[in-house]
Amino acid sequence: MKKYNIGYSLQLAAIHFQKEIRAITRDSGALLILIGAMIIYPVVYSVGYFKETLTDLPVAVVDQDGTKLSRKYANMADASKELHVAFNPADLPEAEALFFQDRIKGVILIPKGFQEAVLAGAQAHVAVYADAGYFLKYKNTLAALSYVNSYFGNGVAVKQYMAEGKSLQQATACIQPLVPQIHTLFNPSASYGSFIMPGLILIIIQQTLWIGIGLVGGSFSESKATPFVLRGSKRKKEVLPLLAGKSAVYLLLTAINIVLALVWVHHWFGYPDKGNAFEILLVLFPYVLSVIFLGIGLCTLFRHRESALVFMVFLSPIVLFVSGLSWPVSAMPVWLQGLSRVFPSSWAVPAYIRMRTMGATLGDVKPELIALYLQVILYGALTIGYFYWRVRKETSLVAICS
C-alpha cells in the first residue's frame, strides 16, 4: 500500500494557492469585490450611521389657541432632542402643504381652548400627525410628544397640589409615587448604528466572498480549462490540496478584512465591545470556512461569470432578511426559518452579536457553534464530492477520446 505523501500534497496546495492568487489579481472585478468592497462598505455604512440616532426632526406646530400655555407646550416640544419646531403655520392646510413638500416630518396641532381646559382641570387635547411611512421618524415623533405630555401634565399636577397646600416634595410624590430606575443594557444610547452594523459587517463579509469567488470561478469555467495539474487517476490525490489551496487564499483575504472591519472600524466608530477576542475568533473561523466551502461549491454551478454575479447578488437581500437583523427569525414562517438555516450568516450573526455586544461566552453560543462546524463538514464534503466526480468525468472522457 502506497504511503500518503504529506509534503507532496502541501506542494500541490501551494500550486493551487498561487493559481488562485494569480486569478484574483488578474481579475479587476474580483479585486474590487474581495478587497475594495470589504474596506469601503463597512466604512461607508458606518459613516452613514455616524449620528447613531435621529435627532431634530423638523415639525410644524399649528397653535390655534395662541396662549401662554400653548406656547410653552410648543417650546417643550422644540427643546426635546428628537424634534425641532421649524414652522408655525396658521392652519392645517398650510402645514399639510409643508409636509408634502418634504420640509417637515410631522405636525402638532394645539386646538383652541387648550389653556382653558388645562386651567379648569379638564382633559386637554393635542393632535399629532406623524410620518408613518418611515418607522424611525414616526417612532421619534411619538416618543418626543409622549415625553412632553408627561412632563407638561406632571408640571400642571404639581402646581395644583401645591395650590391645595402641599409642599413641592409632597406634590411630586403624589404624581409619581414610584420612581422607576431604567437601565438600558448592551446599547445604552439605543442607537441604530450600534444595533445594525456589527451583524451587517458579517453579512458583508459573506456576500463579498461569495461574489468574489463566483467571479473567479465563473471566469475559470468560461475558459473551459481543468482545475487540476496532475493527469488521469492521479487527480484523485489532488482534490484535497486543490480545495485547501483555494480556501487558504480566501481565508487570508478574510483575515485581513476581519482586522479592518471587525477591529478597526468597530473601535473607530465606538460600537459596543464586551466579548473575548479569542472566543469570537473561534466562532468566526468556522463561519468563514463554511462560507468559503459553500461559495466554491456554488461557483461550480455556473458557466459564465455574469451568471455567478447575478445569482450571488440576488441572494444578498434574502440573506440579509433571514439573518434576523431586520426582523426576528422567530416571527417568520416555519419554512422561512428552515431556509435561513442554510446560510452560515443565520447562525454566525446572532452568536457574534451576543458575544461582541452582550458579553456572552462561548458556552452561551454552543448551538450556533456546533451548527457552523456541521456546515463546514457538510459544505466541505459536498464540494470535495463534486471535484471527485469531476475527476471521474474527465478521466472517462480522456479514455473515450483515446
Instruction: Give the model's confidence band at 1: pLDDT under 50 very low, under 70 low, under 90 confident, else very high.
Output: very low
Higher pLDDT, 378 or 194: 378
Q: Which three cell numbers stand for residue 190?
A: 439605543
Q: Are 210 and 298 in contact (CB under 8 A)?
A: yes
pLDDT digits (tens, 9 = 90+) for 122-149: 888 899 998 888 888 888 888 888 888 8
Strand partners, 58: 84
Q: Check whether 176 has a pLDDT greater than 80.
A: no
Strand 127-130, strand 106-110: pairing: antiparallel
DSSP letter for 235, please: G
Domains and CATH numbers, the chain: 6-50+189-401 (no CATH), 57-175 (3.40.1710.10)
Which DSSP string do the residues of 250-282 spell out, in sequence order?
Answer: HHHHHHHHHIIIIIIIHHHTT----S-HHHHHH
Q: Which of 204, 295, 281 shows the shortest CA–CA distance to 249?
A: 295
- In degrees rounded to 5, what are phi and psi of residue 323? -70, -20
pLDDT digits (tens, 9 = 90+) for 207-229: 999 999 988 888 887 777 777 77
Q: Mean pLDDT over residues 178-200, rounded?
A: 79
- In degrees rounded to 5, what are phi and psi of residue 62? -95, 100
pLDDT of residue 237: 81
